[in-house]
Amino acid sequence: MTDDTGQFYPPSRPRRAAGGIKARSKRGPIGERWWSRRFIDVLESLGLASRLSRGRSYARSGQVLALDISTGHVTATVQGSRVKPYLVRLTVDPLTTRQWRAVEASLAGRAVFRARLLAGEMPAEIEQIFADCGTPLFPRSARDLEMACSCPDWEVPCKHLAAVCYVLAEAFDDDPFGMLAWRGKGRAELLASLRSISGGREPAGRPPVIEVPDRPLAECVAGFWAPALSPARLRSLPLAAATPPDLLLRSVEPPLLIAGGQDLATLLRPAYLAMTGCDPDDPDAARQ
């Protein structure tokens, strides 16, 4: 590497970071879920593969000290060779109100999408939904993603930016709503919009139909018994199930049946909680 005068200087070694965010992956690709792998694959397809690889060791050694996702921005601090950590920022254009309305209307049109989002999963079809609404979910070119780091390295991405990309991919593994929040719509706001739209467009007296598209069994026999996640990733998952006990009740509109002033979903919810070992009287038992 060279400095501004063209003089060569030896590569610097980062200071050891305490309490940083360590990537769970110890070797090979980083990112387990399809959406996090897609995020990294898109970045690599933009001609950034060789530069991104420089940040893997930083991500795995915990050099990323903090990471925050907000509308349009991902900000992070990364411990490099200097005493003061570097400030990193990844910027994308959030969706407009009109674009989000189009995306929400498409998602609400199929109850299975809402159910999978409630369960913490990102439907593979969501990428096409965003594309059909004129706003791709992932960057299409380097112009769609602005990268900045306070370090003196002129290359983009530098190893600090690359490390943040890998840690961000694992953050998307844990919570796919982080990716949508980056584009301007957080979990609570999005799910509330989907419930509102779905509740208003179902014809009276007609329950919604859930369609679950999937590959034919004959096409996936070879990997039918293979786990979707690596053993290391499975061991790192929390023991508690992420799926709410009353997910089914939240996913479909209840029949137009009122008893004692309450709809059927409200009457059945305590039974769903009791069957999964939750205390029906605990207000936090079925919290999202």
Q: Is 3 contained in some domain?
A: no
* Residue 77 or residue 15, greater confidence: 77
Choice among 52-61, 149-158, 243-252 with the minimum mean pLDDT? 243-252
Q: Is 221 contained in some domain?
A: no
How large is the C-alpha radius of gyration of the chain?
22
Residues 140 and 267 in one domain: no
**What does the pLDDT look like over 39-89, one tens digit per residue?**
888 888 876 777 777 788 899 999 999 999 999 999 999 999 899 999 999
Residues 178 and 269 in one domain: no
Residues 38 and 146 in one domain: yes
Q: Is 260 contained in some domain?
A: yes
Helices marked H in the chain: 34-43, 49-52, 56-60, 97-108, 111-118, 126-132, 159-174, 177-182, 187-201, 231-236, 247-251, 264-275
Domain range enclosing 63: 12-94+134-184
Residues 23 and 157 in one domain: yes
Does the pTM surpass 0.75? The reply is no
Q: Is 33 contained in some domain?
A: yes
Is there a contact between 148 and 88 (Cβ–Cβ < 8 Å)?
yes
Q: Is 74 contained in some domain?
A: yes
Residues 60 and 148 in one domain: yes
Residues 47 and 158 in one domain: yes
Q: Is 113 contained in some domain?
A: no
Mean pLDDT of 203-220: 54
Residues 163 and 251 in one domain: no
Asked which of 184, 202, 217 is the last residue of a domain, the reply is 184
**How many domains in the chain?**
2
The chain-wide mean pLDDT, for the chain, equals 78
Q: Is 85 contained in some domain?
A: yes
Q: Is 72 contained in some domain?
A: yes
Residues 170 and 259 in one domain: no
